[in-house]
Amino acid sequence: AGVFQSHEEDDRKVRRREKNRVAAQRSRKKQTQKADKLHEEYESLEQENTSLKREIGKLTDEMKHLSEVLKDHEKICPLLHCTMNFMTIPRPDALASCLPR
């Protein structure tokens, strides 16, 4: 009975070891997949960040340009020079001269 029991225990050990090996393999594969997914996400966010920085640059340039245009316009705008225009509704012809043609 001792030899049979010993053989059975060995069998169980082998099965347990194999099961453990497969579980460890699965765990490592899962970790690798998770790391790959995080890396892809990182790359995607880096690209988006670069794109957004470029857009910020363009918008900042556009804002500077429009500020200059407004500053130049304020110097000659009849609506801004006549204090009466702040108290009354602007005349259509005065407003028309300020609007782009």
Q: Model confidence over 25-51: pLDDT tens digits? A: 999 999 999 999 999 999 999 999 999
pTM tops 0.75: no
Can you give the residue range of the structural domain that contains 64?
1-82
Position 64 in a domain: yes
The residue with greater pLDDT, 88 or 22, is 22
Q: What is the pLDDT of residue 59?
A: 98
Q: What is the C-alpha separation between 44 and 36, in angstroms, rounded?
A: 12
In this prediction, residue 78 has a pLDDT band, given cuts at 50, 70 and 90, of confident
Position 38 in a domain: yes
CA 49-50-54 angle, to 5 degrees, is 115
Position 75 in a domain: yes
Q: What is the C-alpha separation between 16 and 19, in angstroms, rounded?
A: 5
Number of domains in the chain: 1
